[in-house]
Amino acid sequence: MTTNVSTQRIQALRDEMANAGLNAVIVPRTDPHLSEYISSHWHTVRYLTGFTGSAGTLVITADGAYLWVDSRYFLQGEDQTQGSGIVIMKDGLPETPSINRFLCDTLNEGDTVGINGMLMSLNDTATLRSALNKKGIRLDVNFDPIDRIWNDRPELPSDAAFIHDEKYAGKSASDKLADLRRDFTTEGARAFFTSALDEIAWLLNLRSTDVPCNPVATSFLYVGEKDACLFINPAKLTPEVIAYLSASGVATAPYNDALGFLTEVPRDIDVLLSGDRASGAVASALDGHFIISDSPVLIPKAVKNEVQMQGIRDAHVRDGVYMVRSIMEVKRTVEQGTPLTEIGVAEILERNRRTDPLFFDLSFDSICGFGPHGAIVHYSATPETDAQLHTDNLLLIDSGANYLDATTDITRTIALGTPSADMRHDFTLVMKGHIAIATAVFPEGTRGHQLDAMARISLWKEGKSYLHGTGHGVGHFLNVHEGPQSIRLNDTMAPLMPGMLTSNEPGVYLADRYGIRCENLVLTIPYETTEFGNFYAFETVTMCPFDRDLFDTSIMTPEEIKWVDDYHRTVYDRLSPSLTPDEREWLAAATAPLK
């Protein structure tokens, strides 16, 4: 997008603000389901600013435009909005105010802030309203002018929904709904309403293609004590899906009828809402007869059953085969001097994964950053930025796939040519943190933030760090980012439980030089029970070698070296039966002992 186009679009929004008597407007990068990944219909922030990251919130005032982004997008945000007058607000840094604080400091008593109430959670809406009220500032939650200024706005998705077979899901929709009813009754509610697309997909074993790389169906779901209703575009429902839902006790209604339905729910029925996952507009429709609690779907969805866990293990062996083939091809192509770019690497990865009979889609757009681009945490190559690979730097590849039996997410940092001593040193520091998480043993009730420093301490000792989390939850043939568990500096209050799938991905990023990230997925598993209680550990399920050329064994302990050698031996044993003789020979060299 050109700077002029962005300026014109933001001015059109300012004109709508003025007509509505507003002094500022908040535009979250989300949808009415408060999703991280969204369909093209809801890419309003991208339309207004040109910013393509997966997280960001735009604030427009009468004379300014401000985009809050987290550390993954500091560089990308500045690059994509350069010259537009948009100020990048680096969220999480001490000097950056929150959006609420910024508005209170910037606006005057009697001013009004506008937002589309469907795009902010119940909790965040209440917090914002409280902060503004203290300064005498009003909040208007009915400001939604986007259709008037976005003339060619894409329609809502209408692709057909389909059933995720129980042989992969491990549990029927009827059984999940029965468990849900038991859980919300325990909370004192008589119904549950969810806008969260991943929750609906998991509960009903229903999938679609509405959001790129996320196999969800755009919908809302109401579950009562004996009834349930899915609010969805009728065009998405095949006769097979309608019959399947009916057999599971789920009726259907048009997507846009959800809020009207909630206004008609009898007042003696208290509806359970998630304060973080239901919007303020949903709460308003219920007019007070709701109970706020954590979603009763979060933990059952995150704790994978035995069928799902076996699918995860199987899928990661197959995915490892495709990774080995891709890395081999990339390395040999560059060594031979044949031209290859970052986009070309992503195409190799996708081509190999698509050969899998259970492949559905990528789990996110592949991140392939060479040299300085690797230092941009969520870099996305475009035809304008697509860098040629050479034998003089590092290549960071973060990629994954959605298979019918699992979701994968893996990052490997690869040396093209002979790595420098600094590259090897930094890579090994990152791997020391990775190994610390992989080998952690912890008591029941431990939360991810209590482990996070283990991944960072080797970097911290040299004045280095990274600003993103060390690990995020991963769905099952679903979203690659899944809560409630994570491993990060700030506490999400969710304990790590057996069956949870989480990433282990420390990194370090040196602007204008290179980036390093080393990521495997790990399952939380039981370890032992002692007089002090239950202890858990991690099972690494990702199967792909780390680049042996990047290890500096002089700063590794014998135990760390042994972990790498043992892991590589496991990788070879599990992948080699599916490889050609040439591929096995390559993998044998790639997994040879470090010493």
pLDDT over 70 (residue 449): yes
* Mean of pLDDT values over 139-153: 94
| Domains 162-294 and 303-561 fall in the same CATH topology | no
Q: Which helix (H) or strand (E) covers residue 292, if one does?
A: strand 290-293
Question: What's the pLDDT at 5?
Answer: 83
pLDDT over 90 (residue 359): yes
Number of Cβ within 10 Å of residue 155's Cβ equals: 9
Number of Cβ within 10 Å of residue 134's Cβ equals: 9
Cα 57 from Cα 102, distance rounded (Å): 13
Question: What's the pLDDT at 542?
Answer: 99
Question: What's the pLDDT at 392?
Answer: 93
User: Is there a contact between 401 and 477 (Cβ–Cβ < 8 Å)?
Assistant: no
Q: Would you give the distance in Å from CA 488 to the centre of its chain?
A: 14
CB-based contacts of 72: which residues, under 8 Å, 6+ apart?
53, 55, 377, 378, 467, 468
**Looking at the domain covering 3-149, what would its CATH class be?**
alpha beta
**Widest CA span in the chain:** 74
Question: What's the pLDDT at 138?
Answer: 97
Q: What are 18-64's pLDDT values in tens digits?
A: 999 999 999 999 999 999 999 999 999 999 999 998 899 999 999 99
Question: What's the pLDDT at 79?
Answer: 87
* Mean of pLDDT values over 255-265: 97
Which amino acid is residue 409, in one-letter code? D
pLDDT over 70 (residue 526): yes
Cα 591 from Cα 594, distance rounded (Å): 8
235 vs 53 pLDDT, higher one: 235
Question: What's the pLDDT at 575?
Answer: 98
The structural domains of the chain, with segments of one domain joined by +, span 3-149, 162-294, 303-561
- 510 phi/psi in degrees, rounded to 5: -110, 105
Candidate CATH numbers 3.40.350.10, 3.30.9.10, 3.30.413.10, 3.40.50.1220; the one for domain 162-294: 3.40.350.10
* Mean of pLDDT values over 338-345: 98
pLDDT over 90 (residue 4): no
Cα 35 from Cα 38, distance rounded (Å): 6
pLDDT over 80 (residue 144): yes
Task: Tell me the three-class secondary structure of 187-207, residue by residue.
Answer: CCCCEEEECCHHHHHHHHCEE
Percent of the chain with pLDDT over 70: 99
* CA-to-CA dists, residue 520 to 190, 282, 409, 463, angstroms: 41, 38, 7, 25
Angle at CA 40, nearest 5°, toward 39 and 46? Answer: 115
Number of Cβ within 10 Å of residue 288's Cβ equals: 8
For residue 500 the two structure tokens come to 């949870």
Listed in order, strand segments (DSSP E) in 446-542 are 471-473, 482-487, 501-504, 507-510, 514-517, 520-530, 533-540
Q: Is the pTM of this model over 0.85?
A: yes
* Mean of pLDDT values over 344-359: 98
Number of Cβ within 10 Å of residue 589's Cβ equals: 10
CB-based contacts of 566: which residues, under 8 Å, 6+ apart?
none
The least confident of 48-57, 126-135, 164-173, 397-406 is: 48-57
Question: What's the pLDDT at 132?
Answer: 97
The domain defined by 303-561 folds into Creatine Amidinohydrolase (3.90.230)
pLDDT over 70 (residue 1): no
pLDDT over 80 (residue 2): no
Q: What are 276-296's pLDDT values in tens digits?
A: 999 999 999 999 999 999 999
* Mean of pLDDT values over 470-475: 98
Question: What's the pLDDT at 363?
Answer: 98
Q: What are 75-102's pLDDT values in tens digits?
A: 888 888 888 889 999 998 999 999 999 9
